[in-house]
Amino acid sequence: MSFVRLSNKSGFLNIISNGISLDSIDSIENVYNENNLVDTLYYRTRVSDTDTRRNEIVLDLIPLVRNQGQYNGISMRYMTDSSYNKINDQILFLGYRIPINPDLSGTNYYIDTPYYLEQVIIKSGIPSEYEICAETFYADSGTEFESTVDYIIYSVQSATGKYSNIKHVKIKIDNINHKREVELYS
């Protein structure tokens, strides 16, 4: 059974292969135990504090349907140490922004918030040391590559090597300083 958890201010939306259900979970502590933090990884979305070029290799995807002005693409960047100095580990995102469909306005099927479907792969620069693959689906009002939420929780689909016990990935977003903390939970 496929399972994705979406976080937003009203709770978590569980997307399950056989249907959709809404749980009224108000805090991350109810999803998994904060005491199960295994490690924290880091990366920045810009080259440096003074060089604001995007720190990534990007492949913008051509969607199968009209784009509606939303970002869809793949991006890869190098991870950093806790001081935000580059290391050889890499993080890759595959994301699709799902815009609001104004054609459904006024119906029971109208979704008034855009969503983002995203997969993340975190891989060691040392062959076979570790690899983590996780995905999520969440509300996000942005239109470009940067998320506009405070954090994103991913459900791990597979994990190998020293992080083989990881079940959740939480990425904390700082769009002002263009830095990210990647928390790994067992």
Q: Which CATH number applies to 3-8+38-185?
A: 2.40.480.10
pLDDT at 13: 41
Look over the chain and give the mean of its residue pLDDT values, rounded to a whole number. Answer: 78
- Residue 170 pLDDT class (50, 70, 90 cuts): very high
Q: What is the pLDDT of residues 45-54, one digit of tens each?
A: 888 778 777 7
**The pLDDT of residue 156 is above 80:** yes
Sketch the domain layout of the chain as residue ranges. Answer: 3-8+38-185
Sign of the Cα pseudo-torsion (109, 112, 114, 115, in order) = negative
Work out the angle at residue 32's Cα, subtended by the Cα atoms of residues 131 and 165, and round it to the nearest 5 degrees: 30
Question: Which tokens is 170 given?
Answer: 């939480």
User: Are residues 59 and 73 in contact, defined by beta-carbon separation less than 8 angstroms?
Assistant: yes
pLDDT at 66: 55
- The reported pTM is 0.77
DSSP 163: T
Angstrom distance (rounded) from CA 2 to CA 82: 33
Q: What is the pLDDT of residues 16-43, one digit of tens each?
A: 333 333 333 334 444 567 789 999 999 9
SS3 at position 107: coil
